[in-house]
Structure 1
Amino acid sequence: MADRYTLRIPALEIRQGTRRIYCFGIDGKKLPDFAAVSRVRRDEEKHLQGYQRPEVLSHIRAIRRYLESDGSMLPNAVVLAFDKRVEFVPGIPSGSVEYSTPGELVIPVDESLPESEKPAWLVDGQQRAAAIRDADLAEFPVAAVGFIADGQEEQRSQFILVNSTKPLPKGLIHELLPDTKGHLPPAYARRKLPSQIMTRLNTDSTGAFRARIASPTAPDGYIKDNSLLKMVEHSLFEGALYQYRSPVDGSGDVEQMLRHLQAFWTMVWEIFPDAWKLPPRNSRLTHGVGIQAMGFVMDSLTEGMSAEDVRCAKVREALERLRPHTAWTSGMWKFADGYERRWNSLQNTPNDVRLLTTHLLRVVQG
């Protein structure tokens, strides 16, 4: 029969403005009893669940070997997000510091609960916790810092902030951003709306980009998320999608933006079906250079158009003119002044994006 009990852990409450954090020590072997790792995934309705990357087994093995050696030490604290079931009971104040209070964290433990229902989540330190879990040690106490979160949106925000100075995979950040609330670094805040649009393009039931954008929850996608984000971001701030943004707070009419993008890129898909279904190594249309260059074509042809008017004869005829002047999957690109390049020599660099964009715009505007 599964155990149910209460952990009472000596802790220090530290007040940071209106928030509280709790510093304490805990046997790392006990973390799995009450703390889960919230793996990033999408449910059947394509809603984002969780926020953590998968375990890196080689990293875990390296940490485990170190822990099992003489003199091992893990000075960095793991970070935990608690739900409302966890409470802090203050003790008798000591000293003259007003912003910290000693006391106890009271954590309910029910070993029968599934991972998703445990009262704490590991925001930072999952690889260390896994190594301690697997290590051939009776116990290994670690420093921990916890906070009581309002929900998964706040957990995601803290997860991104905690990892913003580490090499966290950008694809994971891009997928988490749309469902994240709270303060974000400026670079991430700027990409939140483009990330929201990209996620919808990838998960909506229809459209040219459906399941084609590579992400942690769409591992079979072949269009690089960063290339798609650059295309959307430029259009939002300087191109055809700018008209749907609020000049006051930078928010936008996401539904209209999606209609606009879907209308244009569906025509691209229809006109170049063979190139669209191939991965970037076999097609420069789905390569970063093609996605960005065609994004500039979209801005040129549809800026000022309403989303309902994008799928029109004028835009389709302009795109049709590109057929004899493109070499998405074979042949040679024939640029101005007799300059030629092999089809797959174009790379996702500023110079090549500019070269291809100039070439395509010359054709559609001619």
Structure 2
Amino acid sequence: MKSAAEQIVVRALQTKQADGIDVYAFFLYGADLCRIADISRVSREGGDLKGFQRREIRSHVKSIVDFLDSGPVLFPNAIILALSPEIEFKFARGSRPDGMIDVADSGTLTIPVRPEGERVAWIVDGQQRSLALFQTSNTKLPVPVVAFVSDSLETHREQFILVNKARPLPTRLINELLPEVSARLPRDLAVRRLPSELCNILNKNRTSPFHGLIRRESDSPDSAAVVTDTALIEAIRGNLKAPMGALAQYRNGSEGSDTEAMYRALTLYWSAVKDAFPDAWGKHPIESRLMHSAGIRAMGALMDPIMLRADSAASPEEEVRESLRRLAPHCRWTGGAWDQLQWRWNEVQSTGQSISKLTDYLVRLDRELSRRGA
């Protein structure tokens, strides 16, 4: 008989799928997952393919660990395991209430604990989460597990592909949903919530130069909006970065952020942009590269040095407008060619290289013009 130290026993529900394959649902402490399950890394030995899991993504694991360590968290994301037939399930006795949907049996599941490489379970989906659960200080977090019984590597691979082939949620949909979520979020999502909230305000408020111009995932296909929300959100994220971001001064750490002050700063700057380029504002990106994601990102980055300079001016609004008036004759949003960049106006693209090159040019030009004062 195996000792208690060599096995984990949990309450579980059992049902059957496919051709009589046992499927179980149960909960484990996150720290116990790596005691019972191995990660089958994809590799080749002598030309033969082994395993199926990609390598660990350390940055992803760290972001999950940071989230788990941040305090009481809700973590209902199920880990999917493949179990060896060596596991043992014992049915629980008891009456069945009238009208119960009889799709599963309750009982106890016994899982042997073995050394790494000899374990009786393999992680099919959730390896990054499992590694994070092993590293977190939140060791008593109960984690849902769904497991099927099979020692066939072909079946494991098949389920891995089926689980992971699903198309991920579009970034724009996530961005639009974030302001509506009040729960604690992982760091990579948390940093996107405030920019998306500001994007919402800019789109809805009639005093905003962007009123009705921002395309969001929930818009109808025939929407007249011309600015991609992703571009503006990325621009605002840059404005929020300390110490040089134009909006960083309005972030108060644990006390929250002054979104009204951020909105006023964004409105001041982008209203001046709208007035400096009236022929380019509000047009479709095909007709105006100012409304293109590259134009929004580059002009968003330009906001930081212009607003920083304006903060020390007698009239911040006039300084912003004067800066853009100086810049306007050198910009080619709707026709012509950009000086020094060797681009026709419509050759500006939404690639990282193109955005970076345009941003550097505008920032450098603004600096030179502000020094000359003309």
Residue of structure 2 equivalent to 1:95: 92
Q: Give the aligned residue type for 2:330.
A: H
Measured against aligned partners, the alpha-carbon deviations of 1:9-34 in whole angstroms (never above 9, x if no partner) come to xx9997789xxxxxxxxxxxxxxxxx
Residue of structure 2 equivalent to 1:222: 226
Cα 1:204–1:340 shift into 2, 3 Å: same
Measured against aligned partners, the alpha-carbon deviations of 1:240-263 in whole angstroms (never above 9, x if no partner) come to 1011112347x3111110000001
Measured against aligned partners, the alpha-carbon deviations of 1:295-320 in whole angstroms (never above 9, x if no partner) come to 12110011376699885222211100
Cα distance between partner residues in 2 of 1:353 and 1:208: 22
1:207: how far off? 1.2
1:363: how far off? 2.5
In the superposition, the TM-score normalised over structure 2's length comes to 0.52
1:271-282 superposed matches below 5 A: 271-282=276-287
Cα 1:312–1:274 shift into 2, 3 Å: same
1:350: how far off? 2.0
Count of residues in Structure 1 that have an aligned counterpart in Structure 2:
221
2:343 alignment partner, SS class = strand
Cα distance between partner residues in 1 of 2:310 and 2:180: 29
2:239 corresponds to which of 222, 235, 243: 235
Residue of structure 2 equivalent to 1:182: 183
1:267 alignment partner, SS class = helix
Contact 2:313/2:319, CA 8 A, preserved across alignment: no
Cα distance between partner residues in 1 of 2:99 and 2:287: 57
Cα distance between partner residues in 1 of 2:326 and 2:237: 26
Cα distance between partner residues in 1 of 2:351 and 2:286: 15
1:1-366 superposed matches below 5 A: 95=92, 166-218=167-219, 219-238=223-242, 239-248=245-254, 251-303=256-308, 312-335=317-340, 339-366=341-368
1:232 alignment partner, SS class = helix
Cα distance between partner residues in 1 of 2:365 and 2:345: 17
Cα distance between partner residues in 1 of 2:358 and 2:273: 16
1:169: how far off? 2.2
Unaligned runs of 5+ in 1: 1-10, 18-78, 80-93, 107-144, 146-161
Cα distance between partner residues in 1 of 2:265 and 2:347: 31
Cα 1:351–1:255 shift into 2, 3 Å: same
Percent of aligned pairs sharing the same letter: 36
Residue of structure 1 equivalent to 2:124: none
CA RMSD of aligned residues (A): 3.7
Cα 1:217–1:223 shift into 2, 3 Å: same
Please, which moves more after superposition, 325-334 or 295-304? 295-304
Unaligned runs of 5+ in 2: 1-14, 16-23, 30-77, 79-90, 101-145, 147-162, 369-374
2:280 alignment partner, SS class = helix
Cα distance between partner residues in 1 of 2:311 and 2:339: 33
1:182: how far off? 2.0
Cα distance between partner residues in 1 of 2:343 and 2:329: 15
In the superposition, the TM-score normalised over structure 1's length comes to 0.53
Measured against aligned partners, the alpha-carbon deviations of 1:124-172 in whole angstroms (never above 9, x if no partner) come to xxxxxxxxxxxxxxxxxxxxx9xxxxxxxxxxxxxxxx99x74222222
